[in-house]
Amino acid sequence: MTTRETYPDQVTLADVQAAADCLTGVALRTPLLAFGPFDDEIGAPRVWLKPENLQPIGAFKIRGAYNALATLSPEERAHGVVTHSSGNHAQGIARAARMLGMKAVIVMPLDAPAIKVAGVRADGAEIDFVSADNEARVKRADELAAERGLVLIPSYDDARIVAGQGTIGLEIVEQLAELGRANEPLTVLVPIGGGGLSSGVCVAIKSLRPDATVIGVEPELAADAADSIREDRIVRWGPELTGRTIADGVRTSAVGRIPFAQLRRLIDDVVTVSEDDIKRAMLEASTRARIVAEPSGAVSIAGWLRYGDELPNVAEADTVIIVSGGNVDPETYRTLLAEAAGLD
């Protein structure tokens, strides 16, 4: 007999609401930016961007990071924290630790974008560099926690992280209600890496708007989440595969167990996009919305550009696209935009 794999307990709407209270005055309530279609009819359905690249650290990660650190005991805070990240979570932990007066050590890959490394250093965190292999980062963070008595804060496989990221979903529902769109069909597109963001958004959206559709988007070259949802188990992709995508923020080898427990019961679908799709999405964000989206942040825009005509209730629904971050090295950004402009 085959034993079915079990997963952790659910993260609840109450957890997300508590995180929202914790984040008051810390995380920006990012706006909904109209992205299209631009109909003359007042109150017509719209495609909206939720630009988390406008957060103080340039990405959504401040939400989960601050929520996780703020809930530590005084004794844990005194010990300091350690985490592992390719960049945006690293910046979130570094900023939250500085705000809370804590020591932070960040394990980062040697190929982390320079802009993200600079952000971590600017907030005073110590950096320990390892190879680009995600498993190497996890192992080193565990070693540092044991050697130095630091509190380990996971990048995404943590209920506090999931709840913090879920506050984006709360804001989406509130903002649409303020626009008089509370009872209209809704589709939300969200990037998937380790699953902290997508699972938290699912918890908030599906709790408040059970009629809404939530679709995860990830690169074809790092499609472990799509495989996991299809097979109803966590499927791992090695770093030699996920490392091929330009979307460095979603190169995780597998969805976390806590995020997957939420995703397997709540997310409606996971779709994949090509590297050229991501480049085009970055260009569209720049020219049509006048915002900077890093490759990982543009993944969800790429999903809309590729699959928009196939989305549920496409003619009647509001579509919200979560742009998860904008931390991209300037030279890389210019190169990718130029490559996008040259695509057929």
Task: Concatenate the DSSP letters of all residues of 284-333 into one string.
Answer: HHHHHS-----HHHHHHHHHHHHHGGGSTTTTT-EEEEEE-B----HHHH
**Phi, psi of 190, rounded to the nearest 5 degrees:** -140, 135
**93 within domain boundaries:** yes
Residue 118 and residue 141 share a domain: yes
One domain, residues 77 and 204: no
Domain shared by 66 and 51, yes or no: no
Record the pTM: 0.94
Q: Are strands 47-51 and 33-36 parallel, antiparallel or unpaired?
A: antiparallel
In a domain, 179, yes or no: yes
Task: Quote the percentage of the chain above a pLDDT of 70.
Answer: 95
The phi, psi pair for 339, rounded to 5°, reads -65, -40
One domain for residues 214 and 141 = no
Same domain, 169 and 256: yes
Identify whether 78 is part of a domain.
yes
Reported as a single tens digit per residue, the pLDDT across 304-330 is: 999 988 888 777 889 999 999 999 999
**Domain end (from 132, 152, 172):** 152
Please state, rounded to an integer, the average pLDDT across all residues of the chain: 93
Residues 209 and 75 grouped into a single domain: no
Active-site residue identified among 50, 61, 206, 279: 61
- Quick check: is 5 in a domain? no
Same-domain pairing of 36 and 53: yes
Residues recorded for the chain: 344
* Of the candidate ranges 9-13, 104-108, 243-247, the one whose mean pLDDT is the lowest: 9-13
Contacts 24+ apart (CB under 8 A), 333-339: 333/282, 333/292, 333/294, 336/246, 336/279, 336/282, 336/295, 337/279, 337/282, 337/283, 337/286, 339/279
Q: Where are the extended beta strands (E) located within 131-191?
A: 151-152, 186-191
Asked whether 311 and 213 are in contact (CB, 8 A), the reply is: yes
Q: Are residues 262 and 122 in the same domain?
A: no
3-state helix, strand, coil in the chain (%, to 5): 50, 15, 35
Indicate if 227 and 173 belong to the same structural domain: yes
Of the listed ranges 69-83, 135-149, 200-214, 271-285, the least confidently predicted one is: 135-149
Q: Is 324 among the residues known to form the active site? A: yes
Establish if 7 belongs to a structural domain. Answer: no
Q: What is the pLDDT of residues 132-166, one digit of tens each?
A: 777 788 899 999 999 999 999 999 999 999 999 99
Same domain membership, residue 48 and residue 66: no
Both 53 and 164 in one domain: the answer is yes
- Identify the residue whose tokens are 């770093």: 239
Report the SS3 class of residue 245.
coil
Active-site position among 155, 207, 296, 324 = 324
Q: Tell me the three state secondary structure of residue 263.
A: helix
pLDDT at 264 over 50: yes
| 128 and 25 inside one domain | no
Is residue 165 in some structural domain? yes
* CATH number for position 90: 3.40.50.1100
DSSP state of 59: B
pLDDT band at 3 (very low <50, low <70, confident <90, very high): very low
The whole-angstrom separation of Cα 189 and Cα 170 is 15
Which of 104, 135, 152 marks a domain boundary? Answer: 152
Q: What's the gap between Cα 214 and its chain centre?
A: 14
Residue finishing a domain among 152, 169, 186: 152
Residue 8 belongs to a domain: no
* 3-state DSSP assignment of residue 35: strand
At 299, the pLDDT band (50, 70, 90 cuts) reads very high
Domain count across the chain:
2
List the domain range (segments joined by +) for residue 110: 62-152
In a domain, 2, yes or no: no
